[in-house]
Amino acid sequence: MKYLPLILANIVRRNRLRNSLTILVVALAILLISLLIGIQAAFTSASEVSDAARLVTRNKVSLVFPLPLSYGAKISALPGVQTVAGGNWFQGVYMRPENFFARFAVQAERFLAMYPEYRMSAAERDAFLRDRGACAIGKSTADRFGLKVGDQIQLKGDIYPGLWDFTIRAIYTVDQDAYDDTQMFFHWEYLSERIAQDAVGFFMVQVRDPEQAGDIAKTIDALFENATAQTRTETEKAFSLSFATMMGNVQLLLMVIGAAVFLAMSMVAINTTMMSAQERTSELGIQRALGFTAGTVGALVLVESETIALLGAALGFAMTLGLESGLKSALASFAPTFHVPLWAYAMGLLIAIGIGAVSGGVPAVRAARLRPVDALHAL
Amino acid sequence: MAIPISYNLRNLSVRSASTAMMIGGVAMVVATFVMVLALADGFRRAYARTGSDRNAIVLRFGSTSELNSGLSRDQVRLVAARATGLAELAGDGSPLVSPEMLVVINHPRRDDPDQSSNLAVRGVSPLANQVRANLEIVEGRWLAPGKGELVIGKAAAARFANTRLGDTIEFAKRTWTVAGIFAAGGGAFESEIFGDAEEMLNAFGRTGFQTVTVRLQHRDDFESFKSEIAKETNLQVDVYREQEYYVQQSRALRNFILVVGVVVCSIMSVGAIAGALNTMNGAVLSRRREIGTLRALGFSRVAVLVSFLFEVLVLAAVGGVIGCTLALSVDGLQTGTMNWESFSDVSFSFHVDWVRHFGAGIAFALVMGALGGFFPALRAASANISRSLRQY
């Protein structure tokens, strides 16, 4: 502790430009890695927060094929099934194709009952359920387009052609970043009436006992084994994961970029620490001559580089926090659940300590091995 | 008079560790930059090669993708009638018009049969291999209509199970036999499987098609075809050049790659510029007396400035070349993802363009070097001679 003023003086007084640049570089590395982790996590977050008591039943061929509405009642009648809600992927375009957010037609009352994570006031909920032309949107989407309860929005249909008008009756919030609060839900009946079809894209099935989810999934599929449209039922988690795996090598790619970032930034940081230690050779010699042990001199160099790296990490965390919400809205169409998970910060801390150790290690050993007589010779 | 270049080069080798670190930093940034460009470009190329600019594709008015388009048999007939005289003719005199149906099936993957991905299945006219001029059978033969046969794109055959010649696949409640494997110039069709449209409509219980693709006699016939279609006011369709249409379909994912790539590379480049600044500042500081000597020998301030700038640009250029070389390792690497527009798996390969990407990569390196090196060089040039020469 008594060396603290010495270390601080070295960092603050000496070569301020260089030290601030190094801190900046470490901070940028931490920022980039946190953001990459955040994007990667967004692809899998839906599966992590999925409810083990919820199953998804869809047409066995693929999601683009519908199921008859009557399947819903048959599934509800199975023992162990609590609620069944049918729904369709609506897609559509809101003003411009870039304004993408997920839009679903759902059997609203039952759907909301099995999704308590979408929170809305009782008044808004009732208003939404009463009005057939109503929709509920997530807070992120409301903020993104400046929409409020009572506003009208119009979608241009693509899967279901025509212009579709909705009144926003509810804006829901979520209490966990991993839940998607960009989606829009409206009444399935509104859709089916207009297209005069009873086709359902998927059924969400809530079971009473999550332990039985697997068995019930098998029972559902067996029920329609010989029907016109066969089904495939899987847990909500498996369903979301299958989407993530369809994205292919995106995760590998992000990891490669992360590694490149780490390597590039460490090189820059190591370079500067080495330069600063080298320039101080004679000074380190004086310290040795004054009676500092080899260990102390080496440790001082190491602590200094660790301090710089940790200051960098702190700055990096601050930048991550500052940029996170801006990036969340920039990525709203692609990765609606983008957020930087807590473990990304832990990872950033480890990386900073690693950069500090590597960049301080070599100069520290060199400083410790220094013979005072050689070091002073250079003076 | 200019300071000899050998002075800079020798300096670089004296400070080898520091030099290597700066080169390494620039190389990593450039490698990432070029890889992102190669990825986005490879994806775009897959789609640009999918269509031909001599083909026109007709979709339902307002549909944003083939999947949500739909055309009745009457609409298809009207489109075909309007194409008379403009469409290229097959050997037997029939016009090259392919009404098509596109669906997506969930099919087990080859690498892990427990996992399945979305595979695009296209019902086509038996003439579709002439409508798509770059379609080339690499194994087996083209499908015979009415016999439950499929031809499979080679990228789909590589990524999905049961897709070898002679294999049978079950979907839509019947069994299909693989009659051939085709290549399509590296385009997205290679990620699809083709079958006879009439058979597929039947099997999937559909009554209408989704799109019609017409091979025109000449690429300039497109405008005439479009105005012919416009005369049919009840038709309610959109007409696009096939090539432009597919490039459009790749836009969302390509933009995502570019947005993420640009954010990552610009943040990284700030780091690399800071690194260059540090390295060159260090170089200038430790060579104070040398600089003073050079100035005392009569070299001008401009000569010193140019010399230091030259030194940092050489470093940056070397880093840039190494970065480009590193990025070259992914050239041609096959990968695949789900394109949101088509909701199905599409294969594509990283494509490193020697001229454009390497040019951009090295230019990027030089800009980073110049930004990082300019101020230290200026500092060297403006140093006071007598103070520099004094012992410190």
Beta-bridge mates of residue B106? B118
Can you give the pLDDT at residue B335?
83
- In angstroms, rounded to a whole number, what is the distance separating the alpha carbons of residues A267 and A45? 33
Q: Do A29 and B25 touch (CB under 8 A)?
A: no
Max CA pair span of chain A? 94
- Chain B: residue whose CA lies nearest to A39: B260
Contact yes or no for A309/A353 (Cβ under 8 A): yes
**Residue A117's pLDDT band (boundaries 50, 70, 90)?**
very high
The residue type of B37 is: L
Report yes or no: B274 at the A interface, CB cutoff 8 Å: yes
Please, what is the average pLDDT of chain A? 88
Extract the tokens encoding B132.
Answer: 């798509």
Extract the tokens encoding B110.
Answer: 């080859």
| Residue from the list A21, A161, A257 with its beta carbon closest to the beta carbon of B264 | A257
Choice among A26-40, B22-36, B251-265 with the minimum mean pLDDT:
B251-265
B125: closest CA among B183, B238, B211?
A: B211
Domain spans in chain A, listed from the N-terminal domain onward: 4-46+248-377, 61-229
Residue B390 has pLDDT above 80, yes or no: no
Extract the tokens encoding A131.
Answer: 């009005």
Residues 195-254 of B with CB under 8 A from A: 204-205, 252
Contacts of A39 in chain B (CB under 8 A): 260
- In angstroms, rounded to a whole number, what is the distance separating the alpha carbons of residues A319 and A37? 15
Q: Find which of B65, B277, B278 to mutate to test the A interface (most A CBs within 10 Å of its CB).
A: B278
For A273-325, what is each residue's pLDDT tens digit? 777 777 777 788 888 888 888 888 888 888 888 999 999 999 999 999 999 88
pTM attached to this predicted model: 0.83
Q: Do B267 and A22 touch (CB under 8 A)?
A: no
| Residue from the list A24, A263, A274 with its beta carbon closest to the beta carbon of B18 | A274
Can you give the pLDDT at residue B341?
77
DSSP A65-100: S-EETHHHHHHHTSTTEEEEEEEEE---BBSBTTS-
Q: Do B337 and A249 touch (CB under 8 A)?
A: yes
DSSP B24-38: HHHHHHHHHHHHHHH
Report yes or no: B103 at the A interface, CB cutoff 8 Å: yes
| Residue from the list B25, B277, B343 with its beta carbon closest to the beta carbon of A264 | B25
Residue B189 has pLDDT above 70, yes or no: yes
Q: Do B106 and A61 touch (CB under 8 A)?
A: yes
- In angstroms, rounded to a whole number, what is the distance separating the alpha carbons of residues A204 and A54? 7
Can you give the pLDDT at residue B6?
84
Residue B342 has pLDDT above 90, yes or no: no
Report yes or no: B295 at the A interface, CB cutoff 8 Å: no
Q: Is the ipTM of this complex over 0.85?
A: no
Report yes or no: B28 at the A interface, CB cutoff 8 Å: yes
Can you give the pLDDT at residue A261?
82
Q: Do A253 and B39 touch (CB under 8 A)?
A: yes
